[in-house]
Amino acid sequence: MQTLFIKTPVTVEAHAAVVGKKEGEGPLRDCFDLVAEDIFFGENTFEKAESKFVSQAINLTLKKAGLKPDAIDLLFGGDLLNQCIGTSYGIRSFEIPFLGLYGACSTMAESLALASVTLSCGQISRAIAVTSSHYYSAERQYRFPIEYGGQRPPTAQWTVSGSGAVLLKNGGRGVRVTSVTIGKMLDFGITDANNMGPAMAPAFVDTLKTHLKDTHRKVSDYDLILSGDLGSFGMEMARELAKDEGIFLGENYADCGCLMFDLKRQDVHAGGSGCGCSATVFCGAILPELESGKYRRVLLISTGALMSPTAIQQGESICGIAHAVCFEGE
Amino acid sequence: MQTLFIKTPVTVEAHAAVVGKKEGEGPLRDCFDLVAEDIFFGENTFEKAESKFVSQAINLTLKKAGLKPDAIDLLFGGDLLNQCIGTSYGIRSFEIPFLGLYGACSTMAESLALASVTLSCGQISRAIAVTSSHYYSAERQYRFPIEYGGQRPPTAQWTVSGSGAVLLKNGGRGVRVTSVTIGKMLDFGITDANNMGPAMAPAFVDTLKTHLKDTHRKVSDYDLILSGDLGSFGMEMARELAKDEGIFLGENYADCGCLMFDLKRQDVHAGGSGCGCSATVFCGAILPELESGKYRRVLLISTGALMSPTAIQQGESICGIAHAVCFEGE
């Protein structure tokens, strides 16, 4: 069984989303707690700016909960940068026990899943799940520095600059995590670093199918099924692949990468991506709707392309992975 | 509380260690399940050789347990390579639900800790913890390609080539995981990429101190306290720092990095390091002694230096982290 049921109440105590300027000009502009004035966010490198997104997201989350860092038992987090430095330097000053994760853009669901499972054991009180990404730090690491001015193909996605943090609590009332489904790594032979959607779509469908089977539910049992960042091409592919499995994704299916930007107006091609994409969209736009009661049950499936420039240079293909976390309102 | 107690039996069902040629010529040569004939291990790149260490360690573990990959519910793993490709390509063919971790050289304890906590929830039966490293793939990524012929200072450690895997089971008899202590990231301002021991030693002492306090135990309650890969300089520093905290590390303290190689004869300077170091030493040399009854209680504290070439170029220091896992014989 790939699905773990969270049987004791694990609830969302607070959350925050901090994003970059471009994200703050998109359709979700009013959903974020803080929008950076520019891509450097007051720092002198892109990587340090990314770490500042992380520290600000955690600071705001703690502030909303009225807590200090020493009230947090564990922090689960990761990002796209080599050695996950976005997270490690972002959390350094808090001195919270830390478990570093790497699941590419699936890391937000991975963090939430592991935090929920660990909390459900009943020995700790509070855990934070946090992830981040940054357009400039990611592009120069995975593809080309932006200053190079490379042409972006239509399938390219725009790495979201930002960080989202969720503070989960053992017990309490409010929005709960009720189950998590851990995905398998799937390799469909994609080798184009500018075409991540199709590398991740099969993993999304596999995890969705497994989650529905394990929970004996159907698509209509969810107010919203949310993929992490498949983008417009990946989303269409996901619908097709799901249909082949007898799963019909209708109006209640959306993708964080497509929600984040105005695809026509903002020149982001196939949509948003990055560990920060599902983190900021979920924390900024979706969790409040669960808290308000507009949504009763939401399935977040963050999707990751385990893409490595070194591996691609050595002729390897890009594996996809997806993890699912089910949230339910009171 | 940073320590989680594993209250239901989580036992070691099988384990394996696969190492490179140099490791197979060291003091532990007879402890390993497989020694590669050369640094390429039949592959055409160092990274692919590292992935082969991983797949072979898992294959041997499954073979010893008489199980097929589909009997494993979850795999926790990671390595030192960017995007953790040592692990991801190494595990690809098994199609086991996968949670990727990054804790630098602390990853083996992190994997074992999260696998144990997840198993203790009682919803899954079996999980594998696996990590790897490779001297040539790590050196060229973190410092210089070996072919460059750079001078290694006396403080430099030798990244272990190899992979260790542990199959943990819910229930059963034999060696058990009884508690895990999750460490905090500590930054003591080290900026020398060839001097990892001192970057990790404070984290080791902090986690050890916390573990002893949380469990109400003293050093003499353990047959062996094992640091991951502090090396000879880090080990001495750890003894000094521990003494300052009133913790006296005596004959029952050892370091995987110092156990792996003959420091005088094998020209490895301060000793072994890498995610594969504590993994292979623990799986190859220590777990059998727990199984035989020679050791009754062992504390493995894998230590990680969250070292990033990009961060160092930007003037950042190297944070250390350490996680502890307590194993007890029947």
pLDDT digits (tens, 9 = 90+) for B220-271: 999 999 999 999 999 999 999 999 999 999 999 999 999 999 999 999 999 9
Q: Mean of the pLDDT values across residues B132-160?
A: 94
B117 CB-near residues (< 8 Å, 6+ apart)? A117, A118, A121, B4, B6, B180
Question: Nearest CA to B57 among B161, B171, B165, B149?
Answer: B165
Candidate from A48, A118, A310 with C-beta closest to B314: A48
Q: What is the token pair recorded at B77?
A: 């793993």
Residue of B nearest to A109 (CA): B99
Q: How far apart are the first and last CA of chain A?
A: 26
Measure CB to CB from residue B183 to each of A4, A85, A97 and give the nearest one.
A97
Beta-carbon separation of B123 and A1 below 8 A = yes
Max alpha carbon distance in chain B (Å)? 51
Put simply, the answer to whether B88 touches A123 (Cβ < 8 Å) is no
Alpha-carbon distance of B324 to A129, in angstroms, equals: 21
Q: Chain B residues with CB inside 8 Å of A316's CB? A: 85, 89
Summary count for chain B: helices (H), strands (E): 10, 15
Which pLDDT score, from 0 to 100, does residue B145 have? 94
User: Which pLDDT score, from 0 to 100, does residue B193 have?
Assistant: 85
Question: In B91-113, which positions are buried (b, 16+ CB within 10 angstroms) versus exposed (e)?
Answer: bbebbbbbbbbbbbbbbbbbbbb
Mind listing the pLDDT tens digit for each residue in B74-101? 999 999 999 999 999 999 999 999 999 9
Per-residue pLDDT for B141 more than 90?
A: yes
Instruction: Please give the interface size between A and B, counted as residue pairs whose CB atoms are below 8 Å apart.
Output: 161
Q: Are B139 and B100 in contact (CB under 8 A)?
A: no
* Three-class SS state of A102: coil
Contact list in B for residue A113 (CB cut-off 8 A) is 99
- CB < 8 Å to A1, chain B: 73, 123-124
- B contacts of A126 (beta carbons < 8 Å): none
Please, are residues A205 and A212 in contact by the beta-carbon 8 Å criterion?
no
- End-to-end alpha carbon distance in chain B: 26
Q: What is the predicted pLDDT for the residue at A43?
A: 98
| Cβ pair A182:B314 closer than 8 A | no
Query: Do B4 and A104 make contact, defined as CB atoms within 8 angstroms?
Result: no
Q: How far is CA B250 from the centre of its chain?
A: 22
Of the candidates A47, A88, A310, the beta carbon closest to that of B82 is on A310
Using 50, 70 and 90 to split pLDDT, how confident is the model at B1? confident
Among A74, A102, A124, whose Cβ lies nearest the Cβ of B78? A102
Q: Which segments in chain A show pLDDT lower than 70?
A: none
pTM assigned to the model: 0.98
What confidence tens digit (pLDDT) does each residue in A270-285 have?
Answer: 999 999 999 999 999 9
Task: Considering only the beta carbons, identify the residue of B1, B92, B124 that sits closest to A1.
Answer: B124
CB contact under 8 A, B185 and A78: no
Q: Which residue of B has its CA nearest to A120?
A: B121
- Identify all chain B residues contacting A73, using CB atoms and an 8 Å cutoff: 1-2
* Min Cα separation A117/chain B (Å): 7
ipTM above 0.95, yes or no: yes
Residue environment code for B285-323, b if the CB has 16+ CB neighbours within 10 A, otherwise e: bbbebbeeeebbbbbbbbbbbbbbebbeebebbbbbbbb
Bridging pattern class, strands B224-227 and B186-187:
unpaired
Chain B closest-CA separation from residue A96 CA (Å): 6
Does the beta-carbon distance from B97 to A1 stay under 8 Å?
no
Q: Domains of chain B, with CATH numbers?
A: 7-170 (3.40.47.40), 176-328 (3.40.47.40)
DSSP state of A104: T
d(CA A112, nearest CA chain B) in Å: 12
- Please list every residue in chain A whose beta carbon sits closer than 8 Å to the beta carbon of residue B138: none
Rounded to a whole number of angstroms, the distance from the CA of B321 to the nearest CA of chain A is 8
Check pLDDT > 90 for residue B27. Answer: yes
CA distance B180 to B134: 27
Residue B287 per-residue DSSP state: H
CA neighbor of A55 nearest in space, from A95, A106, A13, A26: A95
Helix (H) or strand (E) holding A13: strand A10-19
The whole-angstrom distance between B194's CA and the closest CA on chain A is 17
Q: Considering CB atoms only, which of B2, B91, B184 is closest to A185? A: B91
- Which residues, in sequence order, are CB contacts of B18 under 8 Å at separation 6+? B32, B33, B34, B35, B36, B53, B56, B57, B60, B162, B163, B164, B280
In the predicted model, what is the mean pLDDT of chain B?
Answer: 97
Question: Pairing relation of β-strands B176-181 and B162-170?
Answer: unpaired
What's the pLDDT score for residue A308? 94
Pairing state between β A10-19 and A34-35: parallel
